[in-house]
Amino acid sequence: MNILDKIVIDKRKEVDLRKSLIPISQLEQSVLFERNNISLAQNLRNSQSGIIAEHKRRSPSKSVINQSLNVQDVANGYEIAGVCGMSVLTDGKYFGGSLDDLIITRASCKLPLLRKEFIIDTYQILEAKAYGADVILLIAAILTRAEIKRFSELAKSLNLDVLLEVHNEEELHKSIMPSLDMLGVNNRNLKTFDVNLDTSKQLSAIIPNDFVKVSESGISSIEAIKELQPFGYKGFLIGENFMKTDNPGESAKQFIKSLL
């Protein structure tokens, strides 16, 4: 069993528990349920850098990345740096994140926020909206085509952008549908954790141009971005690179300055 399978098993239990504690009607009464969302896809289309910066305390592949930073300071720093959007991990067990991180980030900045989560239930999409996210992540490896359709259409009805993540050609073919905004290619092999930018290059040719192309994982240098831009990538999700420094906002600022 690979790490993704384990995460999904735990996630089902966690979501069942959350559903029993907070009914959907309560989520829909959240003040944030009424807010106008900011489109990450639009921001990426209009940006020269395309940086989506992440708040991430730890991960299964790297264990602890940075436990000491305040999510509010990270969000402020990223906003000042001029990133296009921010990804907030809300998985507790494997990544040390929480929905509280999302709500604090929402109160701290005006960036479009991606709820980085393993979504396996429509309940989590309503949660994303209630806690202030603008974008949800759907991972093709853990969903059927019917689930991707149902989840993405629900997200669109709530005015949320949808970033769909694929790892290979098979996942890409199963997933393409009009209710997606962005197609993310994860360069990390989830079975071995190896990272290879060629994954993004190879899949770029078969991603239709209606979608904003995003490359994820293993992007830690200006060179990597410059290498991927000719393949049509407009978005670059950077997780560990900024978070492993003492001041992620300042790191992002210097990175974007060098990039432009």
Catalytic residues: 54, 56, 116, 165, 186, 216-217
CA distance 33 to 219: 33
| Alpha-carbon 236 to chain mean position | 10
Is the Cα dihedral 171, 10, 124, 200 positive or negative?
negative
- The residue written with tokens 């993004």 in the block is 200
CB atoms within 10 A of CB 182: 24
- The residue written with tokens 């290619």 in the block is 185
- The residue written with tokens 């190879």 in the block is 202
Residue of 20, 81, 9 whose CA lies nearest to 51: 81
Helix (H) or strand (E) holding 73: helix 71-81
